[in-house]
A and B are shown apart, each in its own frame.
Chain A
Amino acid sequence: MRVAVVGLGAVGARAARQIASTAEVDSLVVSDPKADRVSEVVASLGAKAEPGEVGADLPEADVVVLATPGEAQLALARTLVARGTSVVCTADGMDVVRGLLDLGPEAEARGVTVAVGAGFAPGLSCVLARFASKRFDTVDEIHVARLGTGGPARARQHHDALGGEAVDWRDGGWQRRPAGSGRELVWFPDPIGGADCYRAELPDALLLVPAFPGVGRATARLAATRRDRLTARLPMGRRPHPEGGLGAIRVEVRGRGSGGIDVEILGAMDRPGVASGAVAALAAVEVGAGRALEVGAAGLAALVDPGRFLGLLADRGVKVARFG
């Protein structure tokens, strides 16, 4: 299998490292606008890795991981789908995710897969939701909460998300509420503990609702400090950090099974950049090996076998916990 990674920031470089260490992958092409960054990453990855030509077209591969800043991913994904190449996208901006999901009919017609939002959250959160839903006959509600960011692009997205408009799914319709509202104390896996989370412009519900037909409610919240909320609608006062600290996600699924109405709460804790890289790499391997559960554009909840995916992810150091 030949895989390409476009964009070598905090997530892309991690994804490239994970892909290069996968036995199923024969060769890996990495590309980035910064030539010295490409040389540095290729040198650190060993014999499988080769540099993509700077300024050339997108590399030829069985599957391409897009880890560029979010806005660029839509145009790149469109080009790749038109070429008949499967794509794994890490972007988590609302407009980009909507645009990527709109590529579904074309991807389906060409028999390729576009994995949308393949990161920490959305991404791992979608897989956790699918895994948690296995014990239910009917899923009524899915609530996702996220704490922390990866690289600078994600830090900017975190800032923008708190100043935008949250979109939740409620009783069969989309509900728009101001980001920064709806405070809720969420208990994340140890050692993170409790953190105040708020509505934010997050795309999780856009990916979860098509994957869980009949779900009544799907919401996403983002952990934020008082300063985050106060400055959310202002330009970022200083450059975002190159790498965030520990982050966590918590996914609560309510549903009905043989034992009646019940709730399943799963979570994960890691550096978001590291976990996102591992999730994107694993998604690329699953898609490239033809193990995606469907063609078209969708989130990971619809594309991967959750148990297998979480097992492989645990082998790569990203562990899942259950609250109970």
Chain B
Amino acid sequence: MTLIRRALVAIGVAGGVAAVLRLRGSGGTPPQRGGWRELDPSELR
């Protein structure tokens, strides 16, 4: 009985950790150089 209870608790904790990791993600790096520039009409033709 104790074994089953511990297993259930472990599964619950692992599920909670997985859910937090899935939602939070692991960060990211913004572009280090460059930027957005609107295209001039002459560049489109």
A residues engaging B (CB < 8 A)?
A: 131, 180, 183-185, 187, 189-190, 194, 196, 226, 229-230, 266-267, 307-308, 310-311, 314, 319-324
Main SS at interface, chain A: mixed
Contact of B44 among A189, A320, A323 (CB under 8 A): A320
A310 to B36, CA, bound (A): 17
Main SS at interface, chain B: loop
Question: Is A314 within 8 A of B37, CB to CB?
Answer: no
Q: Chain B's nearest CB lies how many Å from the CB of A88? A: 21
Question: Is B37 within 8 A of A324, CB to CB?
Answer: yes
Question: Is B30 within 8 A of A308, CB to CB?
Answer: no
Contact of A229 among B23, B26, B37, B45 (CB under 8 A): B23
B residues in contact with A131, CB < 8 Å: 44
Question: Is A323 within 8 A of B29, CB to CB?
Answer: no
Question: Is B28 within 8 A of A189, CB to CB?
Answer: no
B1 at the A interface (CB under 8 A): no
Contact of B35 among A308, A319, A323 (CB under 8 A): A323
Q: With A307-B44, A311-B41, A314-B41 given, is the CB distance from A323 to B23 under 8 Å?
A: no
A residues in contact with B23, CB < 8 Å: 226, 229-230
Contact of B45 among A180, A307, A319, A324 (CB under 8 A): A307
A308 to B34, CA, bound (A): 27
Question: Is A196 within 8 A of B25, CB to CB?
Answer: yes
